[in-house]
Amino acid sequence: MHPLVKQLQQTLPPNTSKICVALSGGLDSRVLFELAKQFKQARQQQEHQPKIQLRAIHIHHQLSQFADDWAAFSQAICDAAKVPLSIYQVDTKDFATASLEDRARRARYQVFEQELQAGEVLLQGHHQDDQVETLLLRLLRGAGTLGLASIPLQRPLGKGLILRPLLNTPRSELLKFAQAAQLTWVEDDSNFEVDFDRNFLRLDILPLLQKRFSNTNANLARVTQLATQSQQLNQDLAKLDLAHCQRTEHSLNLASFLKLADYRQVNLLRYWLRIRNLTLPGHKIWQELTKLYSAGEDTQPIICWDKGAAQVEARRFQNQLFIAPSHYFQPLANNWQASWDGKSPFNTPVGKIDFQLVNQQGSDPKTHSSIPPFIPFILKARQGGEKLRQTKRGQRDVKRLLQELALPPWQRNQLVFIWQQDQLVAVDQYLVAEGWQIIK
């Protein structure tokens, strides 16, 4: 077994049975495909080991005049090896970012996330040279330890796992393997355009560094390993701080948060956003967030970043810091309305009703009166000016009752108002009218 095949075997999770290769047709993925094929053949000869289901995915970015040729080449490779290949054509225009490279990356990872099967491992051909280029790019952009850790060896994606078994292997070793095995591959013409930052570093800058410092790649790769360790320490600290500060899924206790040193505040927020898959803010937004912490209770500042469905908002209310996707703060549409039986769970645009609403006015044996026929409940959004009759309190303005509950302003506008004919009988699970009972 070739050392690179053994390297693949050692990096795969135990009992892996489903492998998918991200096959572009270039040198890196072509070598990786060959390694995966040889590993599958070796596994078939081993008893008491799960057999390997091998397939490949090719992403057609529609960005080169040769893109159809690359797809056809990948298909021919897979046909010869009797390995199933799925070709996905993507449109980078669907992603609103300035960098073409970033748009292409988002497009293919969206496919990977959607198509990975449960327990499947997606192999990517990133190598040590890629790691070094990524490190330099992020250094020049002022990245922190998370960015300097650069490309991770593995990470979850969708139902499966991304794995880069060649990440610590120089590209020169892959080239030697390919030549010895007489493999063919395609060359991306865009790899020689120095207008792209990564190509500029690869073609113009790194050769100069390597000429002067012979161990450039190995030393820079070691920086990413040290940054990974530092990032793990940051993450461990953030977990401790989050356990102390978190109030709800979307909020932190501001008093506890502000007791932390500034660098721990930033570290905590980065971790908290990342584990919820929320976009991290840019440098200017971090400065705006510090102003939000000290905003007066009589103000309701809102800070937003990113755009579209990924937009994130930060707000504060009564000594709590809220950060969540924008849709978390959206009110129930003013004209929304639905009918409900008062018993069954019911999904609304802002959440689920999972309680029962019971009329406590049962039959009266003295008058022989009985419970009137059931009248469906009508669910509506808040309109303003509603009143609710409460036991021992009489008719009250709902606005004041909600203020007493100390609910955040946006949450008050997300509450479902429950009516029966012209009578308001409940406001979500928080308020109930005289003669009615909420059962959870």
CA 424 to chain centre: 40
Q: What is the pLDDT of residue 301?
A: 83
| Domains of the chain, each with CATH number or no CATH | 3-212 (3.40.50.620), 236-329 (1.20.59.20), 337-439 (no CATH)
Copy the structure tokens of residue 406: 């100390």
- Give the C-alpha distances (Å, rounded to integers) separating 254 from 247, 260, 297: 9, 10, 12
Q: What is the pLDDT of residue 369?
A: 45
Q: What is the pLDDT of residue 298?
A: 67
Q: What is the pLDDT of residue 366?
A: 44
Copy the structure tokens of residue 11: 């990096």
CB atoms within 10 A of CB 179: 9
Q: What is the pLDDT of residue 322?
A: 95
Q: Which residues make Cβ contacts (< 8 Å) with residue 295, sequence separation at least 6?
A: 301, 316
Q: What is the pLDDT of residue 32?
A: 97
In order along its 440 residues, the chain shows pLDDT tens digits of: 899 999 999 999 988 999 999 999 999 999 999 999 999 999 888 877 888 999 999 999 988 899 999 999 999 999 999 999 999 998 887 776 667 788 888 889 999 999 999 999 999 999 999 999 999 999 998 888 888 988 999 999 999 999 999 999 999 999 999 999 999 999 887 888 888 888 999 999 999 999 999 899 999 999 999 999 999 999 999 999 999 999 999 999 999 999 999 999 999 999 999 999 898 888 888 888 988 887 776 677 899 988 777 799 999 988 899 999 998 999 999 999 999 998 889 999 988 899 998 888 654 444 444 455 668 899 999 998 999 988 888 899 999 999 889 889 899 999 999 999 889 999 999 999 998 999 98
Q: What is the pLDDT of residue 63?
A: 85
**Spatial distance between the Cα atoms of 59 and 22, rounded to a whole number of angstroms:** 8
